[in-house]
Amino acid sequence: MVVFLDANILFSAAQQGSPSRQFVEILARHTSLITHPGVWEEAQRNLRAKRPQWMEGFASLSQLVALQNRISDCPEVGLPPKDQPVLGAAIGARADWLVTGDRTHFGPLFGKTLECVRVVSPQLMVEEMKTRGRLPVSE
């Protein structure tokens, strides 16, 4: 199972010991984690500007998250232009899930499958992984 992480997930997971970091570490034990270099750079840029003290934690995420360069055309689903490459990259990577905390733009897509990718929030990701037997109920 392949999970594509959006920049906001990477940003939050950069804080070592946080619930977001624990979420990503658990996912890494049960799935393959990927993102696009542009998404990685966005998270890095935002961290440098807003939480430079988390940069060490961000650097260590590179051990958990692989980068992939493919981008497919984004289906017309009402995403703003800046978010279309994120969905396109998840589709291009043939990810099973796109995990994002962006409720404003991706929220209407939560729980929907576009091409091969199911768009989910972190909470929905955990629920679906448990339902499918991919995560132990205790994690």
Alpha helices (H) in 5-96, listed in sequence order? 7-13, 19-30, 37-50, 55-61, 84-92
pTM of structure: 0.95
Look up residue 115 and give its two tokens.
């091409």
**Domain 2-131 CATH superfamily:** 5'-nuclease (3.40.50.1010)
Over the stretch 60-77, which tens digit does the pLDDT of each residue have? 999 999 999 999 999 999
Q: What is the pLDDT of residue 34?
A: 98
d(CA 122, CA 58): 18
d(CA 84, CA 10): 18
Over the stretch 4-16, which tens digit does the pLDDT of each residue have? 999 999 999 999 9
d(CA 27, CA 18): 14
